[in-house]
Chain A
């Protein structure tokens, strides 16, 4: 990636973070930590890798994303809004009665959402189904999935790991948002998942591990995953929960936190200063 390509992506990521913090702060509470940890990968997917059309969000041959950690909806909504799937001012309706932007992703309410998620563990399986449907119809579209590290405690994730490998779903590119925190604390204290690389390798996946906030590293990994011809890909993203909001970074309570408007303003100002 050249500097000319990298710089606008960084700015876009800052902008998405601003919109995400603002949307959650507008309501006063929300899943800030796990939203902010995936902003960089969402930026890279929607602004560099995915073949999607905001004007035709259900085109059958589009690339799709299943955000299996559905509670990170606010980050995806900010990305989709900025990309033009719906007006940015919808973001202030987040979780209000009658909204089209519920905390957990709902494909029937929000343009650009490819799968309804929120009950952890199910999204990777749904992504497998989409890959199989694409295969039947001869489409080589990519199916991306983002699972949480805490979500990885769910047994169904490993059922899906087995199946994707069995069916040789090389068009499936999954990410683990490995921010090391789950609701009740640090993962190694609650239910650790190390050695995560070894686990996915053992299930037959092409596994890469990169800094989930380094756009260049992730870009290389995604390109390598796209070139894979016989295996599904798992890209483990080392991330920081709450990344970009100083009051939330790496804090266990950031999973679903009440937000002080002044702190939100300050975080937004810092991001704005970094450039959007």
Chain B
């Protein structure tokens, strides 16, 4: 990158930021969007309490449709609403959004070129005590294959708020993977976001860690710090935010700069973020890589700490894998 302009590193949230539930931001943002734009409507499949969207219903009762435990009907209904010019946000757990209502989302919404904003909450291990039945390790893989679909996962309240607005303004369907629990913000309130654009959180020279979502971006940041302190490594961290379309330009620039790339996702390593990055690198700039994510496994119950350990998603595991990768590449000469 020596002949390129200086990297724009994202503005970070103040270190004293308090944790906030992302579902609170979801509801606030929906209300704000619906206040500005009367086309916005909400559909849910009996999870309004879980999504914290009862406040939306209170304010917009005529534009809220609780469809009951019937996700397939919800998604096709959303497509019909879109045919009358509405902008429907339809939400349910990611497992039901991706697995149960996939044909409806594929045909009624996407193939029919409607304008449906599907939200899948509790992705990956964040389903916690709901366990294996509700643990979606495959939604990105499923959704990535829908032609033209925008697939993204905000990493904090700021990116959620701003990317939801971009999603509402996008002509066409989107799939948002949503961690709805409490997180400490990563970004300063003033940071601006685009669908399809990643953010550089930390610049670096020896390795690039590309992470996705509210669970994995903080772990990647911690891992980078561990590698800096314990191994003297300069590790770049990218919050990719959108998996499709992938920010190939950013990925390639950092692959060229650092010569080694890791991906971190709360998802199967098969056909998730790691695969998307590998697709781009293999065709353009083959680069040594390591994918952190769930191996070819089903989920199980547990608390977050247990599940992070169980599926190898912790900062410690990321750092250990980074050392292995860098030993293999020897680019930095520091290991």
A residues apposed to B, CB below 8 Å: 60, 64, 66, 106-108, 114-116, 118-119, 121-123, 125-137, 155-156, 159-160, 162-163, 166-167
Contacts and interface: CB of A to CB of B under 8 A. Distances in A.
A224 B266 CA distance: 55
B84 A128 contact: no
B203 to A, nearest CB: 44
Contacts of B108: 115-116, 119, 122, 125-126
A129 B65 CA distance: 10
Interface in B111-168: 111-113
Closest 3 CB pairs of A and B: A129-B80, A133-B84, A125-B76
B79 interface: yes
A66 B107 CA distance: 14
A121 B79 CA distance: 14
B67 interface: yes
A125 B112 contact: no
Contacts of A135: 62
B104 interface: yes
A125 B77 contact: yes
A137 B84 contact: yes
Interface of B: 41, 62-63, 65, 67-68, 70, 72-86, 88, 103-104, 107-108, 111-113
B72 A125 contact: yes
B99 to A, nearest CB: 15
Contacts of A156: 70, 72-73, 76, 104
Given A116-B112, A129-B78, A132-B41, 9 more contacts: A107-B83, A108-B113, A122-B108, A129-B76, A136-B84, A159-B68, A159-B73, A162-B70, A166-B68
Contacts of B74: 125
A223 B215 CA distance: 57
10 contacts: A125-B79, A125-B104, A131-B80, A132-B77, A136-B41, A136-B86, A137-B84, A156-B72, A156-B73, A163-B68
A114 B83 contact: yes
A163 to B, nearest CB: 6
B138 to A, nearest CB: 21
A157 to B, nearest CB: 9
A167 B41 CA distance: 15
A123 B111 CA distance: 14
A126 B68 contact: no
Contacts of A126: 76-77, 79-80, 83, 108
A119 B107 contact: yes
B76 A134 contact: no
B85 A130 contact: no
A108 B111 CA distance: 9
A116 B111 contact: yes
A96 to B, nearest CB: 20
Contact of B79 (A129, A155, A159): A129
B82 A129 contact: yes
**Residue from B62, B76, B104 with most neighbouring chain A CB atoms (10 Å):** B76
Contacts of B82: 129
Given A116-B111, A119-B103, A136-B41, A128 B77 contact: yes
Contacts of A160: 73, 76-77
A133 B107 contact: no
Given A108-B112, A122-B104, A129 B72 contact: no
Contacts of B79: 115, 122, 125-126, 129
B80 A136 contact: no
A127 B80 contact: yes
